[in-house]
Structure 1
């Protein structure tokens, strides 16, 4: 407390007291305005999320009606082998793998599995996240990638990685948590090494996409001979021959990237597809990142050739049912649904951030208010002591 002497008596410096008191009041008012600002933001975010929930629900109803109708129509013309079911069954047979365990959980608990910390960030296994047009391509792509990658688990974020495996303070794997803990709970040995892709950590393709293509295929530059023509037998790029569910085409990552430009671009890159081994061999000078041929030829980008007879790969991509193009309005609904879901996730993050900021400002407000009260008490006490001495 600043004091000054007037006529031998000590009085509080009124100007300083008034100035300090006003300063503390203004700081309190400013913090109060910040609290109201964050509270208003939270109300706005809640309103927007409620609107999105209504829109998402309506879109899901509309899509449900379409798919129910499509299934009813398709059931009259099913192929003998349900390849998607077969792929999952072949994964389940591999009980010793993390992929087999993940799909056992998904089948046993259904929608409840999405609420489990262990699986709620898991998109699936590589083999289940794309389809191809025929069994030959399925065999080729699966053999090219190899069983270990086909069985790799795919997570959206790093949070999914940390849920699958935890470590103690010494950096050792905690055997009774994550995937290891689940294996032990069913009296089985943990799977050892297994692969997991984290989509948000994959470097995405940054080029253009094929214009007006519902599948969002990548606009990759085709190999060109000196005369400007493509090499004989060149069919296309493997990454563009993967058929994706429309819900996986965009907004899988926080930055809006889909599986084609993240996961499958990292797996296949610019892998070229040719009709025959002979076509592939003639095109070697124009192949930078590997090639395969429909008659079984496989060449890696580092000059590694696969020779010998072809393997019968069990875990392979499902074959597309042939309905690769949904009606335009359905495609648009699914696109909007994914976009809306992605925006809702961003709103949830914004809400968490606003709640944190609001809590921080409230703490500051309480501390500032206590400081103001303390200042007033000390000022009043000093004034009382001065008056008592004068009397």
Structure 2
């Protein structure tokens, strides 16, 4: 990726930069924020985002993002300032556009991984679709040194940067599972065997082999304790699905009775409005004792 903003940032980030350098406001590239569990997941998420978004520069604030590039009075890019000047010190030039994601955050104390509590997708019959593996935004494990990055209101990179990229993108085992779940796909879906459904039902056909992918997690030894924990998570997930079904049924029943109550309330109000003048006339016709 010679002569690109990504190449410049990858060269500069590991180095100790001066206090006032613009590099101090850069968090990293999207592709280097975290890891995923499998090469299949890495490839399909990279293909879904596209190379431009994978190489997007994540900055701490909007002002920092704007400061990465300066312009002449005629509106052309000034190659002697900002990130272009940093590139020149490395003997590089940035010769194409690049995307920047403002984060509006600051570093706070260490905090563990926080997955978003998104509801499981449900088909019209109320069941969870077969083959659903999770939401892409929760399937990227942020690197330890990015876990401390928080906004002033406590939000991390997952709630901000990753959610802005993936929204509620669903991940399925196969194309067949994904296509069978079309009725409950909101912001798109991908499958580990290469299927992609984008927003508004747009289907990406063919095959892609992205060169920029997310790094893979280090393999975890499957100990008996780990297997028990995974099984327990599965049991709790099934229990949660049942509770969500119960809550949904209660909400539907509540809405039904609330509509009935409001109809009767309107009917009662109409009766009172119609009978009001009649009652008033009757009171006026009563002779005093």
1:149: how far off? 0.7
> Could you tell me how far apart the structure 2 residues matched to 1:134 and 1:155 are?
27
**Equivalent residue for 1:240, pick from 138, 141, 166:** 138
Tell me, yes or no, if structure 1 residue 100 matches structure 2 residue 4: no
Contact preservation (8 Å) 1:121, 1:156 = yes
Tell me, yes or no, if structure 1 residue 195 matches structure 2 residue 109: no
Matches within 5 A, 1:317-328: 317-322=214-219
Which secondary structure state, in structure 2, belongs to the residue aligned with residue 115 of structure 1? coil
1:140: how far off? 0.9
1:262 corresponds to which residue? 160
Which secondary structure state, in structure 2, belongs to the residue aligned with residue 154 of structure 1? strand
TM-score by length of 2: 0.68
Q: Deviations over 1:37-58 (max 9, x none)?
A: xxxxxxxxxxxxxxxxxxxxxx
1:315 corresponds to which residue? 212
Contact preservation (8 Å) 1:154, 1:196 = yes
Q: Deviations over 1:170-223 (max 9, x none)?
A: 55432210122233445544322111110129xxxxxxxxxxx94211111111
Structure with more helix by fraction? 1
Which secondary structure state, in structure 2, belongs to the residue aligned with residue 228 of structure 1? coil
- Structure label with greater radius of gyration: 1
Which secondary structure state, in structure 2, belongs to the residue aligned with residue 119 of structure 1? helix
1:169: how far off? 4.9
> Could you tell me how far apart the structure 2 residues matched to 1:114 and 1:290 are?
42
> Could you tell me how far apart the structure 2 residues matched to 1:143 and 1:189 are?
26
1:323: how far off? 5.6
Tell me, yes or no, if structure 1 residue 174 matches structure 2 residue 78: yes
Contact preservation (8 Å) 1:217, 1:260 = yes
1:126: how far off? 0.5
> Could you tell me how far apart the structure 2 residues matched to 1:264 and 1:270 are?
10
> Could you tell me how far apart the structure 2 residues matched to 1:293 and 1:247 are?
30
**RMSD value, Cα:** 2.3
> Could you tell me how far apart the structure 2 residues matched to 1:307 and 1:162 are?
36
Contact preservation (8 Å) 1:118, 1:164 = yes
How many residues align? The count is 216
Larger RCO of the pair (alpha carbons < 8 Å, separation 6+)? 1
1:160: how far off? 2.0
User: Structure 1: where are the runs of 5+ without partners?
Assistant: 1-93, 202-212, 325-391
Tell me, yes or no, if structure 1 residue 160 matches structure 2 residue 64: yes
User: Structure 2: where are the runs of 5+ without partners?
Assistant: 106-110, 222-289
Contact preservation (8 Å) 1:121, 1:159 = no
**Counterparts in 2 of 1:162 and 1:281: CA distance versus 1, 3 Å:** closer
**Counterparts in 2 of 1:249 and 1:185: CA distance versus 1, 3 Å:** closer
> Could you tell me how far apart the structure 2 residues matched to 1:138 and 1:284 are?
23
